[in-house]
Amino acid sequence: MKVLLIEDDSDLAAAMTAFLSTRDFVVEAATSIQATRKLLPLTNWDVVLLDLHLPDGNGLDLLPTIKRVAPEACVLILTARDQISDRIRGLDAGADDYLVKPFDPDELLARLRAVQRRSSGSASAILKFGSIEVDLSKSRVVVKGFPVELTSKEWALLRVLVSRADRVHTRDALLSALYGFDQETDSNTLEVFISNLRKKIGRNCIQTLRGIGYRFTGDNE
C-alpha cells in the first residue's frame, strides 16, 4: 500500500514513515502544499494522510487537487483535538476519515487496514478465495487449513494483489507498491517474488497477462 504523508512536523513525519515502513507500507512524505502538488501525479496513491496546518496554507485546500489527481486514494485527515470545525469541513469536502493527534500507531494501522478492506469491497479483514484465506489484520495466509510463511516483501506483494483482486496490476505499479517510485530494483525482482508466491500458495494463484500485468485468481492448484 502506497501512502503519501503530508506533515510539516519533521520529527513526527520521520517517526510515522519509519513505523509504517517496518510494516511494509511504501511511504513518501511531503512537508508543504507545494511539495505535495509535485508528488501527487507521480504514482497511484492508496492513502493520503493529510495534516491541516502546513507552512504554505491550509491542508483542506489540497482536497480538491487530491480528489482530481488521485481519485482512488482514501484521505485521512490529521488534526488536533480542538479542531472540530476543521474535521467537519474536511469530511464534507471529501475526506474519508480523520485521526486525532496525538494518535496511537496501532490506531493508524487499524485505519489503514480499514482502507484496505474498503478498497477490496469487503467489510471483513479476512479475504477468502476458495481454500486460500488472507487475514489483512494479522498479516497471515492460510491455504487448505495450513498457515503459509511469507517474507515481508512476499506479504506486501500479496496484500496489494488480494486487496484489489478484480484489477490487473501492471509491473510498474507492483514495483512501486513494493519499493516506491524512485528506487532502483533488479529487472527480475518482481518475477522472483511472484514465483515464490506461486510455489507457496498455488502455481495458478497469480495470472500473468503478458504485456499487461498480473492478477490474483485465488486458484491454489
Same-domain status, 95 and 198: no
Please state whether the predicted TM-score (pTM) of the whole model is above 0.85: no
CATH number at residue 63: 3.40.50.2300
Same-domain status, 32 and 111: yes
Same-domain status, 103 and 141: no
Same-domain status, 71 and 10: yes
At residue 208, the pLDDT reads 93
Domain final position from 68, 103, 120: 120
Q: Which residues have CB under 8 Å from 159's CB, separation 6+?
A: 1, 24, 116, 134, 136, 139
Same-domain status, 26 and 106: yes
Neighbours of 106 (CB within 10 A): 8
At residue 211, the pLDDT reads 86
Please check whether residue 221 lies inside any domain of the structure. Answer: no
Same-domain status, 136 and 110: no
At residue 78, the pLDDT reads 87
DSSP single-letter state for residue 59: G
Give the range of the structural domain holding residue 113, as residue numbers without chain letter: 2-120
As a whole number of angstroms, the distance between CA 125 and CA 27 comes to 22
CATH number at residue 207: 1.10.10.10
At residue 169, the pLDDT reads 86
Same-domain status, 44 and 101: yes
Same-domain status, 33 and 91: yes
As a whole number of angstroms, the distance between CA 154 and CA 195 comes to 10
Domain final position from 95, 120, 145: 120
As a whole number of angstroms, the distance between CA 167 and CA 42 comes to 20
Same-domain status, 115 and 50: yes
Per the structure, the count of domains in the chain is: 2
Please check whether residue 150 lies inside any domain of the structure. Answer: yes
Same-domain status, 137 and 103: no
Domain final position from 120, 136, 153: 120
* Amino acid in position 145: G
Complete DSSP assignment for 151-214: -HHHHHHHHHHHHTTTSPBPHHHHHHHHH-TT----TTHHHHHHHHHHHHH-TTSEEEETTTEE
* Sign of the dihedral through C-alpha 201, 202, 203, 205: negative
The residues of the chain scoring below 50 in pLDDT are none
Same-domain status, 156 and 91: no
List the one residue out of 38, 43, 47, 52 whose CA is nearest residue 5.
47
At residue 7, the pLDDT reads 94
